[in-house]
């Protein structure tokens, strides 16, 4: 059984909210997207991601019952590539939306299995047994510099190249999404979020909030409140998903949803 909630907030600096998120109970699909390319382009791109991707995944995964099947990751990557090419095509030659693009991070959950996929610097985390692990690796210039040893992790938040992506939905050239399989355990908690959260809060601060025994909606609100208290320099979106054992009773629904589309602005 899944319990989840999501909140999105424009933060304290940006005029608009270019983040979007969605949840599709019927697929066990959760998506977070952060638009890039300016206000109009960014908002449109992230909207396309959260609206079009569920349809693409439903079509492509219709014959897949087991997410551990290697075909599942291949089909999800294929869907993200198709989405990226579609977004780039829509922006081509259109005034006002040149540079249309977005990050994406998704969790697809079936039974006790999850597939995590992403492009860009929106992240997925797994809280298990009191330990928080970042599942995704940022597709960004700063991350490349860290991996090459040219800058330290602590320099990432202030580096001039912060926010510059190496991969995104709508990117020029060949899209390069990543996907990974995760076997879930009872009590696991997943977090999907944009860099408006991770750019404001350190790993240990996020860990403390997620591991504080809060219900998903309260945890989302606490994360956003703390990010705003730290400056709120960007739009902030958080989706918290709890994997809990289903009661052994007939007729129990697999998904129990409590969602909120927008946080306080």
Place of tokens 């899209």: 175
pLDDT tens for 93-114 read 665 666 789 999 999 999 999 9
In a domain, 62, yes or no: yes
Q: In terms of pLDDT, which residue wins out, 54 or 90? A: 54
Answer whether 44's CB lies under 8 Å from 18's CB.
Answer: no
DSSP codes of every residue in the chain: -EEEEEEEE-TTT-SS--EEEEEETTTTEEEEEEEESSHHHHHHHHHHHHHHHHHHHHHHTTT---TTSHHHHHHHHHHHHHHHHHHHHHHTT-TT-TT-EE-EEEEEEETTEEEEEEESS-EEEEEETTEEEE-S---BHHHHHHHTTSS-GGGGGG-TTTT-BSS-BT-SSS---EEEEEE--TT-EEEEE-HHHHTTS-HHHHHHHHTS---HHHHHHHHHHHHHHTT--S-EEEEEEEE-PPPSSTT--SEEE---S----
In a domain, 122, yes or no: yes
CA 9 to chain centre: 15
Q: Residue 216: which of 198, 243, 236, 196 has the closest Cα?
A: 243
pLDDT at 93: 62
Distance CA 136, CA 210 (A): 17
In a domain, 15, yes or no: yes
Answer whether 113's CB lies under 8 Å from 64's CB.
Answer: no
% of the chain residues with pLDDT over 90:
71
pLDDT tens for 175-190 read 999 999 999 999 999 9
Backbone angles phi, psi at 44, to 5 degrees: -65, -45
Tell me which residue range forms the domain holding 10.
2-257
In a domain, 113, yes or no: yes
In a domain, 265, yes or no: no
CA distances from 8 to 32, 93, 99, 150, 255 (A): 10, 31, 23, 34, 21
Q: In terms of pLDDT, which residue wins out, 92 or 31? A: 31
pLDDT at 151: 72
CB atoms inside a 10 Å sphere around CB 246: 14
Place of tokens 């985390």: 125
pLDDT over 70 (residue 248)? no
CATH number of the domain enclosing 242? 3.60.40.10
pLDDT at 95: 59
pLDDT at 259: 39
In a domain, 28, yes or no: yes
Q: How confident is the model at residue 223 (pLDDT cuts 50, 70, 90)?
A: very high
Place of tokens 């977004």: 87
CB atoms inside a 10 Å sphere around CB 129: 8
In a domain, 51, yes or no: yes
pLDDT at 262: 41
In a domain, 262, yes or no: no
pLDDT at 153: 73
Q: How confident is the model at residue 253 (pLDDT cuts 50, 70, 90)?
A: very low
How many domains does the chain divide into? Answer: 1
pLDDT over 90 (residue 239)? yes
Cβ neighbors of 224 (< 8 A, separation 6 or more) are: 7, 9, 197, 236, 238, 263
Distance CA 191, CA 181 (A): 16
Q: In terms of pLDDT, which residue wins out, 161 or 18? A: 18
pLDDT at 89: 84
pLDDT tens for 7-21 read 999 999 999 999 999
The pTM assigned to this predicted structure is: 0.90
- Helices 203-210/216-229 angle, 10° precision: 150
């Amino acid at each position: 059984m899944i319990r989840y909630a999501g909140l999105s907030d424009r933060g304290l600096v940006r005029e608009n909210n270019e983040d979007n998120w969605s949840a599709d109970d019927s697929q066990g699909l959760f998506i977070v997207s952060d638009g890039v390319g300016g206000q109009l382009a960014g908002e449109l791109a992230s909207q396309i991601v959260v609206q079009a991707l569920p349809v693409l995944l439903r079509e492509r995964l219709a014959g897949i019952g087991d997410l551990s099947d290697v075909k599942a990751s291949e089909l999800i990557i294929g869907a993200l590539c198709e989405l990226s090419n579609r977004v780039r095509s829509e922006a081509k030659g259109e005034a006002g939306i040149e540079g249309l693009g977005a990050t994406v991070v998704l969790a697809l959950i079936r039974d006790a299995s999850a597939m995590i996929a992403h492009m860009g610097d929106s992240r997925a985390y797994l809280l298990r047994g009191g330990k928080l692990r970042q599942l995704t690796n940022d597709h960004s210039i700063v991350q490349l510099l860290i991996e090459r040893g040219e800058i330290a992790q602590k320099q990432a938040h202030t580096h001039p190249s912060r926010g510059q992506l190496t991969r995104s939905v709508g990117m020029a050239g060949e899209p390069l999404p990543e996907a990974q399989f995760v076997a879930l355990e009872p009590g696991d908690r997943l977090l999907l979020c944009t860099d408006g959260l991770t750019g404001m809060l350190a790993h240990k601060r996020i860990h403390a909030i997620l591991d504080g025994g809060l219900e998903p909606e309260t945890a989302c609100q606490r994360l956003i409140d703390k990010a705003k208290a730290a400056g709120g320099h960007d739009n902030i979106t958080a989706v918290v998903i709890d994997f809990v054992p289903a009661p052994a009773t007939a007729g129990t629904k697999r998904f129990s949803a409590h969602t909120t589309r927008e946080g306080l602005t």
